[in-house]
A = this chain, B = another copy of it.
Amino acid sequence: MDIKTSDTTHLTAAQRIDWLRLIRSDNVGPRTFRSLVNHFGGARAALERLPALARRGGASRPGRICSEADAWAELEAAEQRGVSLIAPGEFGYPPRLAVLDDAPPLLGVRGAREAFMRPMIAIVGSRNASGAGLKFASSLARDLSDAGFVIASGLARGIDQSAHRASLTGGTVAMLAGGHDKVYPPEHEDLLAAILASGGAISEMPLGHAPRARDFPRRNRLISGAALGVVVVEAAHRSGSLITARIAAEQGREVFAVPGSPLDPRAAGTNDLIKQGATLITEASDVIHAVEPIMGRPVELREPDEEPLASEPDESDRARIVGLLGPTPILLDDLIRMANASPAIVRTVLLELELAGRLERHGGGLVSLV
């Protein structure tokens, strides 16, 4: 997968259909997509190998492979709604998002595509925010917007909504957890329409996909990944905004937090973030000073992160590796050492298991059987 950060990448129509088929097939996520395309030299070749790989992984029933007709239908429905399905490196794909390991291979983009090419700051926080929190989010978003930044957020109630509204003029973008036609919360349809006038919305989900609870943390990586940094305005202990902050730190993004009184439970999460190393901010200039040095740096293409796969592991390798796995997560590195097999063979067996729906990948290089 040839990812560039400029707009020099252009998929042909046939390639776009192949990419869409592959990412919409069962058990194929962004990382698996990348492994497959890297190894087989393209999405078309990978699609042809999917059934055999999944079978070797011990799929109890064959996983669904997205048909060409379904892919065309999705593409056409998207275009009718003004949604473009674009690849990393194409114009409108946020450049900083494009270089992440788990960047969506195709992103549904709606609205003013150029908004996604400008420097972006994410503002997130409680749905159940205080009046002071909402007021602060508004003034921060307005000031950052006036300074030329696009404001990214999640279209939620509370802080997200205040941040979007205050930056409508300068441009604001919404990252959606469901498909573009399944706006959540539903009462923010009007807000989304206002956002689309000068900003945009993105989703990696197909039209018709109603967001499930687990889609929100997944979506959060798009908010932080597209931005230079994330500001958490108000957050209680164990709130969703703290997940965004953790992902942002893992992605190497700046994490900013707005302090509050120790007696205010809605500041507990942000105060904790500061204790853990986030930058305390009280005004837009604090954010701007911190991101200015980063803005100057070009977005770096990442190194290929996967070593090659093996052409075909033999049965004894496969049996030994599966035998070492269980429901308790184990480190990939430990598995490679214990399996007494080459890393390429272990990775290939894991890919087969994944495509068979039998493997779960956790954070930190941990894997387990489902």
Q: Which residues on A are within 8 Å of B, measured CB to CB?
A: 132, 135-136, 258-264, 267-268, 271, 274-275, 280-283, 286
Contact of A261 among B260, B275, B281, B283 (CB under 8 A): B260
- Whether B261 contacts A267 by the Cβ 8 Å rule is yes
Give 28 A-B contacts (CB < 8 Å), ordered by A residue. A132-B261, A132-B263, A135-B263, A136-B261, A136-B262, A136-B263, A258-B261, A258-B262, A259-B259, A259-B260, A259-B262, A259-B271, A259-B274, A260-B260, A260-B261, A261-B261, A261-B264, A261-B267, A262-B281, A262-B282, A262-B283, A271-B282, A274-B274, A274-B280, A275-B280, A275-B282, A275-B286, A280-B280
CA distance A132 to B265 in the complex (A): 13
| Chain B min CB distance to A133 (Å) | 8
Complex interface: chain B residues within 8 A of A262 (CB): 136, 258-259, 281-283
Question: Which partner residue on chain B sits nearest A273 by CB separation?
Answer: B280
Closest Cβ of chain B to A276, distance in Å, is 10
Minimum CB distance partner of A259 in chain B: B259
Complex: A262 Cα to B258 Cα, angstroms: 7
Verify B259–A261 contact, CB threshold 8 A. Answer: yes
Distance from A194 Cβ to chain B, minimum over Cβ atoms (Å): 26
Partner of A259 from B136, B267, B283, B286 at Cβ < 8 Å: B267
Q: Return chain B residues, CB-CB under 8 Å to A135.
A: 263
Give the distance in Å from the alpha carbon of A260 to the alpha carbon of B283 in the complex: 13
Shortest beta-carbon contacts, A-B, top 9: A259-B259, A262-B282, A274-B280, A132-B263, A260-B261, A271-B282, A132-B261, A259-B271, A275-B280
**Which residue on B lies nearest to A263, using beta carbons?**
B132
Q: Give every chain B residue within 8 A of A274 (Cβ-Cβ).
A: 259, 274, 280
CA distance A262 to B270 in the complex (A): 13
Q: Which residues does chain B contribute within 8 Å of A275, judged by CB atoms?
A: 280, 282, 286
A258 and B259 CA atoms in complex are apart in Å by 9
Q: Which residues of B contact A259 (CB under 8 A)?
A: 259-262, 267, 271, 274, 280
Look across to chain B and name the residue whose beta carbon is closest to the beta carbon of A234.
Answer: B261
In the assembled complex, the CB of A268 is this many whole angstroms from the nearest CB of chain B, namely 8
Contacts of A286 in B (CB 8 A): 275
Give the distance in Å from the alpha carbon of A57 to the alpha carbon of B135 in the complex.
62
A116 CB to nearest chain B CB (Å): 29
Give the distance to chain B from A137, nearest Cβ to Cβ, in Å.
11
Q: How far is the CA of A349 from the CA of B280 in the complex (A)?
A: 48
| Distance in angstroms between the alpha carbons of A260 and B262 in the assembled complex | 8
A130 to chain B, nearest CB (A): 9
* Nearest-Cβ distance from residue A232 to partner chain B, whole angstroms: 13
* Apart from A259-B271, A262-B283, A275-B282, 8 more pairs, CB < 8 Å: A132-B261, A136-B262, A258-B261, A259-B262, A259-B274, A261-B264, A261-B267, A280-B280
